[in-house]
């Protein structure tokens, strides 16, 4: 019978089967050796960490929220986000300069001043009663002050070369003789638009009592008034001194001469204009010019001119009247020796005014022609001259 390996007898000298304690100790020792080898292997034989890992970590720190981020290492600077540009310095504000307080301007009058409906009572004319004479504030032989350049309203309507001797005569600075109360009747022709004016009659009524005056020019077609100019004021050292001037067509607008404020105000709220001594309106200027020539005819030879600040209902400018020599003229009222004065337009929208004044009538007008910028005109010739009075 065969013998199994287990039953084979051990060779002589070999120890017997180890005990379980020895086996357990060997097993534990082997396990410890394996653990030690496995724990030290990554450190002993593993590759070195890649430098890219450090860059990745640095980049992550840079884009972290500002409160958690730290300054990046110098090696990581190339991959850091660009820093935000510094804020632009604010431009220093210029020191504020206090604006000057504007001077108070007079309130424009929107309603006309009350004027008595009844005209000033005229002084009855007698053969021995001389016309009212007003002496200027300066001597008639003294040189008059120069006209302001560009006109008092700065509108470029002043007289060119006003400082020359030929331009030295300024209304309100010479002797003058104001005519007595009178009523002048005119026959008028003209053009308005495409239609000629026929059958038009005009009346210039001048009333004065030595200290105040009332002047009215009216143009009528049949029973309809197509134009009315009205001027009231005083007669003082400079001659005629208007207080109020108005024009009426479909409605009335006016200019007010506020002498205590040195301003000319307009009822349509147009800008006020400084008042120049000797200022006139578009109606009173006719009588003032006649008074100047009557007061000293030799002072105004042909070629000379007179400068007058003249106000309408919307503006006031410096008007320059050129004076011509004597000539003979025939009108419906008769034949007269006259001196012609012309105010020519100097800019757009200027009115041309032509006056023929008769020395035989105290330099009252025997013909008046007004030409508008659009070509419309009214040409009035004297029909008769009557003393002014309540019955006229």
Is residue 291 within 8 Å of residue 176, measured between CB atoms? Answer: yes
Mean of pLDDT over the chain: 73
pLDDT for residue 163: 31
User: If pLDDT is split at 50, 70 and 90, which confidence band does 174 have?
Assistant: low
Judge residue 368's burial from the number of C-beta atoms within 10 Å of its C-beta, 0-12 exposed, 13-18 middle, 19 or more buried: buried
User: Looking at the predicted structure, is the pLDDT value of residue 365 above 90?
Assistant: yes
More confident residue, 86 or 314: 314
Q: Are 179 and 235 in contact (CB under 8 A)?
A: no
Q: Is the pLDDT of residue 59 over 50?
A: no
Q: What percent of the chain stands above pLDDT 90?
A: 42
- Please tell me the distance from the alpha carbon of residue 355 to that of residue 365, in angstroms, as a whole number: 6
Mean pLDDT of 243-272: 94
Q: Where residue 13 falls among pLDDT bands split at 50, 70, 90?
A: low
Q: How confident is the model at residue 158 (pLDDT cuts 50, 70, 90)?
A: very low
For domain 145-386, give its CATH number from 2.40.360, 1.10.390, 3.30.60, 2.40.128. 2.40.360
- Give the pLDDT band of residue 20 (cuts 50, 70, 90): confident
Q: Report the pLDDT averaged over residues 320-348.
A: 95
Which residues fall within 8 angstroms of residue 247, CB to CB, at 6 or more apart? Answer: 227, 228, 229, 230, 253, 254, 312, 313
Is the separation of the CB atoms in 382 and 333 below 8 Å?
yes
Tell me the pLDDT band of 259, cut-offs 50, 70 and 90: very high
Point out the least confidently predicted range of 20-24, 58-62, 278-282, 330-334. Answer: 58-62
Characterize the bridge pairing of strands 305-311 and 280-281. parallel
**Count of residues for the chain?**
392
172: left (phi over 0), alpha (psi -120 to 50) or beta: left
DSSP three-state, residue 54 = helix
Which of 95-99, 107-111, 227-231, 283-287 shows the lowest mean pLDDT across its residues? 107-111
pLDDT tens figures, 60-101: 334 444 444 444 445 444 445 555 555 565 655 554 444 444
Q: Which segment of 220-224, 274-278, 355-359 scores lowest on mean pLDDT? A: 220-224
Q: How confident is the model at residue 198 (pLDDT cuts 50, 70, 90)?
A: confident
| pLDDT score at 11 | 52
The mean pLDDT of 204-219, rounded to a whole number, is 95
Give Cα separations from 110 to 36, 79, 199 (angstroms).
115, 79, 35
Global confidence as pTM: 0.58
**Would you put residue 260 in left (φ > 0), alpha (ψ -120 to 50) or beta?**
alpha
Give the number of other CB atoms < 10 A from CB of residue 244.
19
Give the integer Cα–Cα distance in Å for 255 and 247.
9
Task: Give the rounded percent of residues in the chain with a pLDDT score beyond 70.
Answer: 59
pLDDT, tens digit, for every residue of 125-150?
333 333 443 333 333 333 333 333 33
Instruction: Please say if the pLDDT value at position 328 is more than 70.
Output: yes
pLDDT at 325: 94
Q: How far is CA 128 from CA 10, 131, 171, 239, 247, in A?
A: 192, 10, 28, 22, 36
More confident residue, 178 or 57: 178
Average pLDDT of span 185-200: 86
What pLDDT shows up at residue 68? 45
């Amino acid at each position: 019978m065969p013998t199994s390996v287990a039953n084979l007898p051990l060779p002589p000298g070999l120890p017997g089967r180890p005990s379980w304690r020895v086996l357990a100790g060997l097993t534990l020792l082997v396990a410890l050796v394996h653990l030690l080898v496995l724990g030290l292997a990554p450190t002993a034989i593993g590759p070195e960490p890649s430098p890219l890992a450090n860059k990745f970590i640095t980049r992550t720190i840079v884009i972290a929220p500002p409160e958690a981020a730290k300054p990046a290492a110098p090696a990581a600077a190339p991959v850091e986000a660009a820093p935000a540009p510094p804020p632009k310095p604010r431009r220093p504000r210029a020191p504020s300069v206090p604006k000057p307080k504007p001077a108070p301007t007079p309130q424009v009058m929107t309603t006309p001043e009350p004027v008595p409906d009844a005209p000033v009572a005229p002084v009855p004319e007698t053969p021995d009663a001389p016309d009212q004479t007003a002496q200027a504030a300066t001597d008639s032989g003294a040189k008059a002050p120069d006209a302001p350049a560009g006109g008092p309203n700065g509108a470029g309507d002043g007289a060119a070369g006003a400082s020359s001797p030929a331009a030295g005569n300024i209304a309100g600075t010479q002797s003058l003789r104001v005519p007595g109360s009178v009523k002048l009747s005119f026959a008028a022709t003209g053009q308005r638009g495409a239609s000629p004016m026929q059958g038009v009659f005009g009346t210039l009524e001048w009333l004065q009592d030595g200290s105040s005056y009332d002047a009215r020019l009216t143009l009528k077609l049949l029973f309809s008034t197509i134009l009315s100019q009205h001027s009231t004021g005083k007669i003082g050292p400079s001659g005629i001194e208007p207080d109020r001037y108005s024009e009426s067509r479909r409605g009335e607008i006016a200019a007010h001469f506020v002498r205590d404020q040195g301003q000319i105000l307009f009822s349509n709220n147009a800008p006020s204009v400084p008042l120049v001594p000797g200022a006139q309106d578009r109606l009173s200027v006719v009588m003032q010019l006649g008074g100047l020539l009557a007061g000293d005819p030799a002072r105004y030879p042909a070629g000379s001119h007179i400068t007058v600040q003249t106000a309408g209902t919307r503006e006031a400018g410096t008007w320059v009247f050129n004076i011509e020599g004597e000539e003979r003229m025939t009108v419906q009222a008769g034949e007269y020796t006259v001196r012609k004065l012309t105010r020519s337009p100097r800019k757009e929208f200027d009115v041309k005014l032509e006056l023929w004044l008769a020395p035989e009538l105290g330099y009252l007008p025997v013909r008046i022609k007004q030409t508008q910028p659009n070509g419309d005109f009214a040409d009035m010739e004297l029909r008769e001259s009557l003393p002014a009075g309540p019955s006229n």
